[in-house]
Amino acid sequence: MRPPLRQRRLIFVTGKGGVGKTTMAAAMARVFASEGARVLLCSVDTRSDLASLFGLDELSFVPHAVDEHLSVMGMNTEDALRDYLKLNLRVPLVSKLGPLSAALDFVATAAPGVREILTIGKICYDVREARYDVVIVDAPATGHVVSLLAAPQALQELVRVGLIRGQTEWMREILADPERTGVVVVTTPEEMPVAETLELLVSLRTKTDVDVAAVILNRTLPELFTSSDHLALDLLLADSSWENSSNALIDAARVHRQRQLVAHEHIATLRAGLSSQLALVTQPFVFSAENAKDLVDVVAQSLSEELP
């Protein structure tokens, strides 16, 4: 039995680009904060729209307090390196890293995983030191999240002894502990997002130590018709006299019916590919949000009722 998502202290939110993962990460942070937890919401994706969801021009490495319980920050490699050197190597730092930054670029190119280790290390350090009750990460999209989560494991295979080896061991312990850490994968009832989600679940299971806590099925369309309505509509559309009809109501019903049938097929494919123990959280398509903040609030209210 997987530990409930609400009990975890480190949550990575990922998904195919465009499915709403950043909005879900922000809404999830709102949910935990509204329940009294001290929450850090961290973006590691430079293309994330997280700042705009909270009315900020940009995110910084120094957490910005949105309210009493919620802070947001953006990760960048140079500040993460500065933090790592200060905490672990006791290296005195000036305002700019200068040659160290250039050296990082060289090392990161020669040894894949260095940049990811700095990012994951900062995140895991905040969890280890209990600076927050919950750390939620707006993680990279499906194509890149595995390399981030597998970085400690990959670096351990390259480095057998020494300081870096010791650092990766405690990071890996945090990531591999399902009581503390989990991944939430966001998808939509469409062909490509569902296919990428199922592929990602396999990759996370085989290439990382991190447990998948839940899948969020976002932007599901409301059921406008009962089963009797659908039957009546099918009979009506089967009448050839409606084939070239320009009746707006019939056209709208026809489009909705077609989209629902396709969506149901993709949802069935998703359910068939999920473990019976994995929570599937369904979220409706939000039509009424007037702005980004309103959208986060609406989704947070819905999520608060559904999160395991």
The tens digit of pLDDT for each residue in 17-26 reads 999 999 999 9
Q: Is the dihedral of CA 88, 94, 95, 99 positive or negative?
A: negative
Instruction: Please determine, for residue 103, whether its predicted confidence score (pLDDT) is greater than 60.
Output: no
User: Which of 1.10.220.110, 3.40.50.300, 3.50.50.60, 3.10.20.600 is the CATH number of 5-222+276-306?
Assistant: 3.40.50.300
How far separated are the first and last CA of the chain, in Å rounded? 12
Give the highest mean pLDDT range of 103-112, 241-250, 282-291: 282-291
Least confident of 84-93, 113-122, 186-195: 84-93
Residue 12 sits at the vertex; the CA angle it makes with 9 and 17, to the nearest 5 degrees, is 160
Residue 36 sits at the vertex; the CA angle it makes with 305 and 57, to the nearest 5 degrees, is 90
Beta bridge partners of 185: 14, 215
DSSP tag of 5: G
H-state helical runs in the chain: 21-34, 50-53, 77-84, 99-110, 114-128, 142-149, 151-158, 163-176, 191-207, 227-238, 248-273, 292-306
Q: What is the pTM of this model?
A: 0.86
| pLDDT for residue 139 | 95
Contact 277, 5 (CB under 8 A): no
Contact 41, 53 (CB under 8 A): no
Mean pLDDT, residues 45-67:
88
Residue of 95 and 229 predicted with greater confidence: 229
Computed over every residue of the chain, the mean pLDDT equals: 83
Contact 24, 299 (CB under 8 A): yes
Segments making up each domain of the chain, as ranges: 5-222+276-306
Residue of 293 and 175 predicted with greater confidence: 175
Helix (H, G, I), strand (E, B) or coil at 112: coil
pLDDT digits over 146-174, tens only? Answer: 999 998 887 776 665 555 666 788 899 99
